[in-house]
Each structure stands twice: as C-alpha cells, then as structure tokens.
Amino acid sequence: MASALDELQKDLEEVKVLLEKATRKRVRDALTVEKSRIETEIKNKMQQKAQGKADSLDNEKPAAVVAPLTTGYTVKISNYGWDQSDKFVKIYITLTGVHQVPAENVQVHFTERSFDLLVKDLNGKNYSMIVNNLLKPISVEGSSKKVKTDTVLIMCRKKAESMRWDYLTQVEKECKDKEKPSYDTETDPSEGLMNVLKKIYEDGDDDMKRTINKAWVESREKQAKGDTEF
C-alpha cells in the first residue's frame, strides 16, 4: 500500500507541474480532472489504510466477536441513487438484509466535503462506500443516516439551503464540463463551431439572430453553387 501511495503522490506532483506549465484551456481542464482523480484515489487509499489499522486493533481485543470481519472481505459500493430537497442531498444505497444487522455495524463518517459508509458483517461481508469532493459543503452536525428495509439512506445537510446541486461531486461536474467541447476534436471539427454558433444564436438578440441566419443562408448558397460547378 505504501509503494502504491508513493507512486500516486509522484503522479500528483507531476500533474501539478504540468498544470502550472499548461496554457491551453482544454489541456488545463484535462489535467485538472486528472489531478482531482489522483487526489481522490490517494485519500481513499489513506482511509482504507487507516481503517485496516483500526480493524486490526479491534481484532486484538479478546472479548470482541470479529470472526466474520476477518474471514470476510470488503465490497466497494458503486451502485447508488441520489436526489435532493431544499435542505438535504439524499443518497440511497441498496443492501439486501442491511436492516437486520446491529445498528453499530452501520457506520457513516462525515466531513464538510465527503462521507464514507462502512457496513460490517452483512452476510459475511463488509461493504464500503467513500465519496470525496462533494459538489458543495455540507453540515457535519446536521448530516445523518437512516437504515430502512434493504436500504441505507445517507442524508447530507446542505450548508447553503435551497441551492440546487447539479452533480453529487466536483469530479462529476468537471468530467461533464470536459465532455461539452468534445465535439470539436478529431471526429468533425465543424461540429464544435456549429455548437458555438447555436449557443450564440440562442443567447443573442434579434439582430444577432438575423446576422447568423444571413451568414448561414449565404454559406449554404455558396456551398450549393460550388457543388454544381464541380
């Protein structure tokens, strides 16, 4: 684990150096997304390492019944759903039988921009979910969890109430933003220009729309003429 962390730290430092030198927006956007991804992976590995030490200490206590934890393994939770109200962002995790395990086996830790869920000894397995870089800050004190039939509900209290979240995490937002200009890459450079013109047209006043319409008609006429002559 230590060597993997060292490699990630080296990757992060190199990306930071490249980010400082990059001048092209698309390059900077890509490097920013990669930087966030590496930082998240480093944090996840550090938390897993800390959790491993904590479990190891628990295993040393003779009075604790920990056989299912040592013989089982940890499953990373990747499937979930989420929605929001004015006050809360709600994350729904489906785990069959979770309502039947002891309450202390379902643990959630919150920070201002993250949360991690650990469900211990559910059908001989542990289940873990770590979400870092939440889109906006949350109130640690106001956040909580609820265990329902086959479901864990994590309720993150928004610090800024009534403010809508378009994404759950900052990384998701950056990835989506990165995808927006992808039309002007290798496939068809003209598509990127068309998207820009479409955006200008939608946001423009009547004069701007007339100008764009005129340019479009002239372009089509010139293209048709060229095809005929050819």
Alpha carbons within 13 A on the beta-carbon side of 123: 8
In this prediction, residue 177 carries a pLDDT of: 80
Distance CA 143, CA 125 (A): 26
pLDDT digits (tens, 9 = 90+) for 44-65: 878 877 777 666 665 655 544 4
Distance CA 29, CA 167 (A): 18
> What is the four-CA torsion angle of 165, 169, 173, 176, rounded to 10 degrees?
-120
In this prediction, residue 31 carries a pLDDT of: 78
In this prediction, residue 2 carries a pLDDT of: 53
Are the CB atoms for 206 and 214 separated by under 8 Å? Answer: no
In this prediction, residue 219 carries a pLDDT of: 66
In this prediction, residue 191 carries a pLDDT of: 56
Chain centroid to Cα 153, Å, comes to 18
Chain centroid to Cα 61, Å, comes to 37
For the chain, residues with pLDDT lower than 50 are 1, 63-71, 183-185, 187-190, 230
Would strands 81-84 and 114-122 be described as parallel, antiparallel, or unpaired? Answer: unpaired
* DSSP code at position 206: H
Give the angle 62-63-69 at the CA atoms, nearest 5°. 80
Give the residue ranges of DSSP H helices in the chain. 2-21, 25-59, 67-71, 170-179, 189-203, 206-229
Phi first, then psi, for residue 56 (nearest 5°) are: -65, -40
Query: For the purposes of burial, counting CB atoms within 10 Å of the CB of 61, is it exposed (0-12), middle (13-18) or buried (19 or more)?
Result: exposed
Are the CB atoms for 41 and 68 separated by under 8 Å? Answer: no
**pTM of the predicted model as reported, rounded to 2 decimal places:** 0.49
Would strands 74-76 and 125-131 be described as parallel, antiparallel, or unpaired? Answer: parallel
Residue type at 74? T
Distance CA 55, CA 139 (A): 28
pLDDT digits (tens, 9 = 90+) for 129-175: 999 999 999 999 999 999 999 999 999 999 999 899 999 999 998 88
Are the CB atoms for 80 and 129 separated by under 8 Å? Answer: yes
